[in-house]
Amino acid sequence: MTQLNEDILKGIFSFLEPNTRYIIAARCLSLRPIHKSLPIHIDHLKISPSSFSINGSTHAFRSMIQEAEEQKLPRHLQEINDDYGVPYDLTSTGKRDDDADLLFQDVQVGGIRFAQNFIDQFNANSGSLEGQMNEFIRVAASMRGGRLPVVQCTPYIQYTLSNDYQMSTVTYPPGNRIRHAIRRHLGNVLGNGEVSVRLLEIDCQDGVLRFPGDVKLKVQEIKLRRNGNAVLHAIRPVISERSFPLQKISILVQEAGDPVFQNQVVKASGAVDIRIDYDPDGNWAEALKKLPNKIVHMAVGEIPIEQLGELAFGWMENPRMEGSKFSMPSRDVATILERAAEVLPVCNATIESRRCDEFPVGASIQISEDLEINIYGAMAPNHEKELLKPNGKPWMIVMESMAFGSAAPCG
């Protein structure tokens, strides 16, 4: 049987997708050094306190309770197993183990109100109606101080690797903890040194994220949930300085005064995607005017037309560089274009380079000898998917700073 030399193996491994590389190396000790010696390029890395996914393959850890033959588990412990475990470590009495147990490179994110944390924990750990009720009982019991019967039990963790096509499960012996397993496992997958990541998604807003001590992430884009300012400060040590300024950052906010808008990583990035949670209350025009980013997209949520007008006046008073753009999906693009003519000093115009058959005529404002602001309708980034939704927003309104003469006045 012919053996391949190390250079050939490295060449083969360098073409493999990271999850595939890890699976092969995990089954062959001699290949592990090769796996760890090669650079890794990941399209999408998603990290949470109890799982991570790489390019759509999810590595998840859940705690379960070992069942004894001689006696039945109490109902509240049996329900943990019936729900296929919980995504956190358990104590020897089946309660949630919140010991942070931080090691080098682990990061702890805080700053969330307790009530909101309760809601998010409930939503994250429940699926079906039955699962929701079980989770509610568990969380409510912990809030009451634990009135459920105290029974000694043996927790263990179960690891699952899954994607669209298959799923495999490994059971760890009792005594292991999610906090240690996920750190060790992530280190085995990512190898050593700097890892290139196109999109890093942090799928938590508080808690502890476990990172191997020798890994740095060179990131192009970051996507965050709520509490983004605290999350960015927490993960900064594991992000390579070569990542900055980011090409793009996506943030989820509840109000226009969210402190994440003041974060220097956000303000320095090339583009910002804003997702508004709940109702868009507050002075969004003021918040958006203060963002220095070249591209700002309101990915989820919609600000009132009046505030969009305020934003346009802000751009007129403090002109943005050519190519600066604000966009926002809306079901009322035609109405916004009509209102723009009423409240702004615009003229109807066509912009050939941005032509959209659905909205052929836009609005143009000359602000200097070299610059104009053009407001026009365009397809939303997820146009096809939005068309299929009953209340979808397949179109968006765009305000762009362009070279004077880009728009041709009409009618």
Asked if 20 and 81 sit in the same domain, the reply is no
pLDDT digits (tens), the chain, 411 positions = 456 666 666 666 666 767 676 667 666 766 666 666 667 889 999 999 899 999 989 999 999 998 877 778 888 888 888 889 999 999 888 888 877 676 656 777 765 543 344 445 445 444 555 555 566 656 555 554 455 567 788 899 999 998 878 888 989 999 999 988 998 888 888 877 789 999 999 998 888 888 887 789 999 999 998 889 999 998 998 999 999 999 999 999 988 889 999 999 999 999 999 998 766 667 889 999 999 999 999 988 888 888 888 999 999 999 999 999 999 999 889 998 988 888 888 899 999 999 888 999 999 999 999 999 999 999 999 999 999 998 899 999 999 999 999 999 886
Asked if 119 and 56 sit in the same domain, the reply is yes
Query: What pLDDT sits at residue 117?
Result: 47
Query: What pLDDT sits at residue 247?
Result: 97
Query: What pLDDT sits at residue 75?
Result: 84
In a domain, 258, yes or no: no
- For the chain, helix, strand, coil in percent to 5 are 35, 30, 40
Task: Characterize 149-161 residue by residue with b for buried, 16 or more Cβ atoms within 10 angstroms of its Cβ, and e for exposed.
Answer: eeeebebbbbbbb
Report how far residue 122's alpha carbon sits from residue 388's, in angstroms, rounded to the nearest whole number.
30
Query: What pLDDT sits at residue 211?
Result: 84
In a domain, 207, yes or no: yes
Query: What pLDDT sits at residue 319?
Result: 92
In a domain, 252, yes or no: no
Asked if 268 and 403 sit in the same domain, the reply is yes
Asked if 93 and 148 sit in the same domain, the reply is yes
Count of domains observed in the chain: 3
Range of the domain at 98: 40-243
List the alpha helices (DSSP H) in 274-328: 284-289, 305-317
Report how far residue 83's alpha carbon sits from residue 79's, in angstroms, rounded to the nearest whole number.
6
Report how far residue 55's alpha carbon sits from residue 45's, in angstroms, rounded to the nearest whole number.
7
Asked if 24 and 52 sit in the same domain, the reply is no
In a domain, 351, yes or no: yes
Asked if 197 and 59 sit in the same domain, the reply is yes
Final residue belonging to a domain, choices 243, 277, 305? 243
Report how far residue 390's alpha carbon sits from residue 361's, in angstroms, rounded to the nearest whole number.
26
Asked if 153 and 11 sit in the same domain, the reply is no
Report how far residue 111's alpha carbon sits from residue 114's, in angstroms, rounded to the nearest whole number.
9
Query: What pLDDT sits at residue 34?
Result: 65
In a domain, 251, yes or no: no
Asked if 326 and 391 sit in the same domain, the reply is yes
Yes or no: say if 329 and 396 are a contact pair by the CB < 8 Å rule: yes
In a domain, 249, yes or no: no
Distance of CA 239 to the CA centre of its chain: 15
Asked if 317 and 402 sit in the same domain, the reply is yes
In a domain, 192, yes or no: yes
Asked if 127 and 27 sit in the same domain, the reply is no
Asked if 24 and 127 sit in the same domain, the reply is no
Asked if 104 and 226 sit in the same domain, the reply is yes
Query: What pLDDT sits at residue 343?
Result: 86
* Amino acid at site 363: A
In a domain, 248, yes or no: no
DSSP annotation of 143 reads H
Q: Collapsing DSSP states into helix, strand and coil, what is residue 81?
A: helix
Q: 31: how many CB neighbours lie within 10 A of its CB? A: 17
